[in-house]
Structure 1
Amino acid sequence: MLAGAGAAPAGAQPPPPARDTLTIGITQFPSTFHPNIDSMAAKSYVLGFARRPLTAYGPDWALACLLCDRVPSLENGGAVRETTPEGKPGIRVTWRLREDARWGDGAPISAEDLRFAWEAGRETATGFGPAEFYRSAYELVVQDARTVTLRFDKITFEYASAGEFQPLPARIERDRWQGDHRGYRNRTAYDTETATPGLWSGPYRVTAVQPGAGVTLERNEAWAGPAPAFRRIQVRTVENTAALEAQLLAGQLDMVAGELGLPVEQAAALERRAAGRFNVFYKPGLVYEHLDVQHDHPALGDKRVRQALLLATDRAQIVARLFENRQTVAHSSVNPLDRMHDADTRQWPHDPRRAAALLDEAGWRRGPDGIRRNAAGEKLSFELMTTAGNRAREAVQQVLQGMWRPAGIDARIRNEPPRVLFGETLSRRRLQGAALFAWVSGPENVPRSTLHSDEIPRAERNWSGQNFGGWRNAEMDALLEALPQELDAERRRSLWSRLQAIYAEELPALPLWFRADAHVWPRWLDGVRPTGHLNPTSLRVEEWRLR
């Protein structure tokens, strides 16, 4: 808390020095600063300081308005059921922007900014995601300068959440988009002139970018909400977690963001060594650490091989040895903290003998060097990738490689910086095997963008979509389309159970564990509230205060 003004009594400790800059360390650098292009945790964290979406989930996991004046609902009239022109059940949802919403140059955030975002998203060549939102929102009606209504061709339980749909400054971006929609991502001011004040709508605005190294943000004078505590925030990228810890201890960093910071076991060791110097908060949540696999690979496209990989992996031992039992072994992509988690979902316990039998059945026989081969003599071999410099993930890679080799599986480790792995290798489907990384979601988030066959990135859609592995399953597609349209939570539960059953059987990705994030901040800082889901702590930076 802040102390009141006045003379200090004799013998009292002097007040702490004024602080006008907060320096934060994260382990990744954004591949883009455009709010609607590419999903990456680093971008989400940085833009949380400088952007305000229409709606977001809070630390209490409840949906709240940030840029709008109320969450639309059927009860308050913000959402209305209707029939589409094709005669199908539809819904119209109205969002009204806050009267005090301003871009960083003082211009009002307007309905035209929402219209432009919708038009750009509807054009598939732009490459906005998630594409399904824009396909379903078939009409946008401007009601007045601050109000728009979207008409959707289906009713979903998520209708009140605007998700990734957020305004873009039309007067800056529209001319860059028109004419060559496909090339827009290379011309957007968010990446070519990132310090332009009119791009930003949060308590801070980006004032400088050091590519690959850091971002400087300063107070947005046009921000009408509570004044943030710091004049400047510096977000530094330190991809090696050992170096990240060293900079924190040396005072070069004030805090490390839990969303993209130290692995829990490294944070726990730091907490023991530097007792009392930092607040360390462990937040379990909807962070799903897994292995994305390339389904076009001759071995990994066979579910028996994927099942064998999981059977050959002693995940409980990894969690115990590397993470001090602070992670929860995953059996599907739905977290036990989520109300739709099914505890009866099939599990794949560590069983090397069963793994060997499945590989034999799939036609992969041991060769003279112990590595399995198929009838054509091809080795059961693939690349195993992750984000370079993440000490915990690199340790997991080594353990996985060691566990798989006795099963006759050759995993070749090759890592890339996060901005390359996510911005190029995964998004353009250049993965040659498996990639270790995490998805983070909101509460009861339908995983259409990662599992639906229509979300496989492809050139004609400018590589939008997050089904990087190229998995296809007709029943899953049907479930992902039906699930959002079931408004009754109990009836949704059976659909969720079936989704988890298919996932556990087919293993479109290999589930490892649900992650707890270790948030490390200085003892002189208050108000940081970890959420445990996709909306980062930075979205509420105006609540951060000096003690």
Structure 2
Amino acid sequence: MQSLFKIAAVLMAVCLAGGAWARDLVIGISQFPSNFHPSIDSMLAKSYVLGLTQRPFTVFDRRWELVCMLCTELPTFENGKAVAEEAPGGKRGVALTYTIRPDARWGDGTPVTTRDVLFTWEVGRHPKSGVGNAEMYRRMWKLDIVDERTFVIHDEKLGFNYNAINDFRVLPEHLERKVFAADPETYRNRTLFDTDPTNPGLAFGPYRIARVVPGSQIVLERNPTWWGAVPVFERIVIKAIENTTALEANLLSGEIDMIEGSAGLSLDQALAFERRHGDRFRVFYKPGLVYEHLDVMLDNPALADRRVRQALLYGLDREAMSRKLFAGRQPVADTFVHPLDWIHTDEVRRYVHDPAQAAALLDAAGWKPGQGGLRRNAAGEPLRLELMTTAGNRSRELVEQVLQSQWRQLGIEVAIKNEPPRVFFGETVSKRKFGSLALFAWISSPENPPRSTLHSQEIPSEANGWSGQNYAGFRNARMDELIDAIEGELDRDKRKALWHELQRLYAEELPALPLFFQAEAHIWPRWLSGIEPTGHMAPVTSWVENWRDARP
């Protein structure tokens, strides 16, 4: 009898530690990650997974405030951990002291130390490693190791967001150094995050990857070395269902428990779903810094002409699209800066639906109405464009059809060619293989300078290991100057003026064609609570330990 009481006590302890009798949570998303490396390729689905398995040094929280996660304290000038200094070339730089949490350990028990920090810095600074935010590492001209947990970053640029190192995603030196050292130029294709993703030493978050079914699902289990509150779910299964109609069907059948808002149902689907099933599920709409747009391939001779880009935008009735497809919940975008962001300005060139203006611009650019109703240049070549997006995303496919139809009325032929998300993001977009237009969304943090996406030094190429995210190939000297000036301006009012000029330049030059700002539709079972979407690029999984299961 006594032994039975002991067993009951143990079971009760397990129950209290892990929530109401440890359960699984099955999450549906519309993408499968192109890879699991935290710094190679930018993709929503991957960020969502890494929110479960890792923690950044710094991050913007749901209140849009910068906080520490892997570090113990934000360095500031007030606490003495940020110190202005002269950087090479006489630049105004800053020295930043960070300390790693003393209880941070990789999933194999190895402590997270400054050896990992130094290795991450070395990978980031290698010109052909393929990391996305290579510019951040280039700015960090020196790294001092103080001890096992403390390090000093010397940044050559003292900017307003000087202590935000959100993209410095630490790598496990004890596992990855050997792979990187073998051949840095092919590292992106040989990293253990791809070849051995279930290795526990790759994770130091609440969960670690236990099993991967490529293109289908990722099974994560609790990480025993996690330092924080024990998450309520013993396992989380992420199922990738790239067709959003099938994603909804899987939710209704019980194959999945919830649908992630940042990579889930389109807004029109969510609105219809709520009308039919609002008694069973909670649908939460979160407006945020999610910019739906068309990246323009500026190497395409037709699209290199600004007048053609402007004509394409004048030829679209985006207001009608927002009303008919999204019940007006997704406002039309004039630039990439959301009205919720304090730096936003309305004083930019605005492209209301004006087919006559669009036609005049095309005429001026040398594209005249011709045979077959298509506009043709002086050589008789028709104006033909290729439009690509993520296959299976019903919302984007509907938008594509509208774009195709409205541009056909201007005499422009548009061919639609979609791909699975992991191919579209992992190969086509990241390596600039799209011929004309790529439809997708950027998710940003508050007041986020667009260096990676708009600066001329951030154009991916084979020579730089496909680093950078300026997929359009946009080159504009004044844009470069404004980005540099914004990053280095500490005065809030002066910075605001620079931001306003940048937005006006963006609206004139149109390196991308703005469409809408998304409102994410999160769909949760009514027994699930504690999820707090941020409205920006930090995934909700970064706070998974706060999620709660109210089932009896």
User: TM-score scaled by structure 2?
Assistant: 0.95
Which residue in the other structure is 2:98 paired with?
95
Q: How big is each residue's C-alpha offset from its partner over 1:54-110, in whole Å with a ceiling of 9 and x where there is no partner?
A: 011111110111111011111111211011243321100111001111111111100
Q: Secondary structure at the match of 2:120?
A: helix
Q: Say if 2:452 and 2:468, in contact at 8 Å, map to a contact too.
A: yes
Q: Distance in 2 between matches of 1:267 and 1:442?
A: 25
Matches within 5 A, 1:290-369: 290-369=293-372
Q: 1:379 aligns with which of 382, 389, 394?
A: 382
AA aligned to 2:402 is V
> Do structure 1's residue 497 and structure 2's residue 516 form an aligned pair?
no
Q: Please give the residue correspondences for 1:6-17 in structure 2 after superposition, counting only pairs within 5 Å.
A: none
Does residue 54 (structure 1) correspond to residue 57 (structure 2)? The answer is yes
Q: Distance in 2 between matches of 1:275 and 1:212?
A: 30
Q: Which runs of 5+ in 1 are unaligned?
A: 6-15
What letter is aligned with 1:149? V
Which is further off, 283-292 or 370-379?
A: 370-379
SS in 1 for 2:233: coil
Q: Secondary structure at the match of 1:48?
A: helix
- CA-CA distance at 1:17 after TM superposition: 8.1
Q: 1:239 aligns with which of 238, 242, 267?
A: 242
Contact 1:73/1:79, CA 8 A, preserved across alignment: yes
1:452 aligns with 2:430: no
Aligned partner of 1:196 among 195, 199, 202: 199
CA distance in 1, matches of 2:394, 2:85: 52
Aligned counterpart in structure 1 of residue 222 of structure 2, from 213, 219, 232: 219
Distance 1:482 1:178 in 2: 36
- Residue 156 of structure 1 aligns to which amino acid in structure 2? G
Q: Which moved more, 1:108-117 or 1:156-165?
A: 156-165
Provide the C-alpha distance between the structure 1 equivalents of 2:153 and 2:22, rounded to a whole number of angstroms: 44
- Is residue 531 of structure 1 aligned with residue 524 of structure 2? no
| Structure 2 stretches lacking a partner, 5+ long | 1-7, 9-18
Given the alignment of the two structures, is residue 275 of structure 1 paired with residue 278 of structure 2, yes or no?
Answer: yes
What residue in structure 2 maps to residue 263 of structure 1?
266
Please identify, of 88-97 and 433-442, the stretch whose mean Cα deviation from structure 2 is larger: 88-97
1:129: Cα distance to partner? 2.1
Conservation of the 8 A alpha-carbon contact between 2:217 and 2:239: yes
| Amino acid corresponding to residue 468 of structure 2 in structure 1 | G
Q: Which runs of 4+ in 1 moved over 6 A?
A: none
Equivalent residue for 2:254, pick from 251, 271, 286:
251
Question: Match of 1:348, SS?
Answer: coil
Provide the rounded CA distance (Å) in 2 between the counterparts of 1:454 and 1:508: 15
- Residue 159 (structure 1) aligned with residue 189 (structure 2): no
* CA–CA distance in structure 1, aligned partners of residues 477 and 193 of structure 2: 38
Q: Which amino acid aligns with 1:180?
A: D
Are the equivalent residues in 2 in contact too, given 1:129–1:164 (CA < 8 A)?
A: no
1:136 aligns with 139
- Measure how far apart 1:50 and its partner are: 0.5
Structure 2 match to 1:9: none
The Cα of 1:427 is off from its aligned counterpart by 1.1
Describe the superposition over 1:273-328 as per-residue Cα deviations: whole angstroms up to 9, x where unpaired.
Answer: 01211111000000000000110112111110010000000000000000011101
Compute the displacement of 1:131 (Å): 1.2
SS in 2 for 1:201: coil
- The structural deviation recorded for 1:127 is 1.3
Partners of 2:117 and 2:261 lie apart in 1 by 31
Distance in 1 separating the partners of 2:418 and 2:263: 17
SS of residue paired to 2:372: coil
The CA distance in 2 between the partners of 1:135 and 1:112, in whole Å, is: 19
CA distance in 2, matches of 1:332, 1:450: 13
C-alpha distance in structure 2 between counterparts of 1:265 and 1:430, whole Å: 30
Task: Supply the AA of the counterpart residue of 1:342.
Answer: T
The answer to whether the Cα contact below 8 Å between 1:140 and 1:151 also exists between their aligned partners in 2 is yes
Q: What percentage of aligned pairs have identical amino acids?
A: 55
Q: 1:386 to 1:85 in 2, by over 3 A?
A: closer
Aligned-partner SS, 1:461: coil
Residue type of the alignment partner of 1:353: A
Q: Is the 8 A contact 2:24 2:237 kept in 1?
A: yes
Confirm or deny that 1:394 pairs with 2:390: no
Q: Is 2:493 the partner of 1:481?
A: no
Deviations along 1:99-154, one digit per CA (max 9) or x if unpaired, are 11111111110011010000111111111121111111000000110011110111
Q: Is the 8 A contact 1:82 1:90 kept in 2?
A: yes
Conserved 8 A contact 2:20-2:549: no
**Paired position in structure 2 for 1:289:** 292
Paired position in structure 1 for 2:474: 471
- Among residues 57, 80, 86, which one is paired with 1:83 in the alignment? 86
Residue 174 of structure 2 is matched in structure 1 by 171
Q: Distance in 1 between matches of 2:470 and 2:86?
A: 31
In 1, Cα distance between the equivalents of 2:346 and 2:55?
Answer: 36
Q: CA deviation at 1:19?
A: 5.3
Name the aligned partner's letter for residue 430 of structure 2.
S
* Distance change (3 Å), C-alpha of 1:85 and 1:413: closer
Check the 8 A contact 1:382/1:434 in 2, yes or no.
Answer: yes
Return the alpha-carbon distance in structure 2 between the equivalents of residues 97 and 379 of structure 1: 59
Deviations 1:465-507 (A, max 9, x none): 1111111111001111111000111110110011000000010
State the AA in 1 paired with 2:390.
T
Counterparts of 1:87 and 1:19, CA distance in 2:
58
Tell me, yes or no, if the aligned pair for 1:125 and 1:182 is still in contact at 8 Å: yes
Structure 1 contact 90–155 (Cα < 8 Å) conserved: yes
How many Å separate the matches in 2 of 1:130 and 1:275?
41
Structure 2: distance between partners of 1:88 and 1:322: 50
Shift of 1:18: 4.3
- Residue 207 (structure 1) aligned with residue 204 (structure 2): no
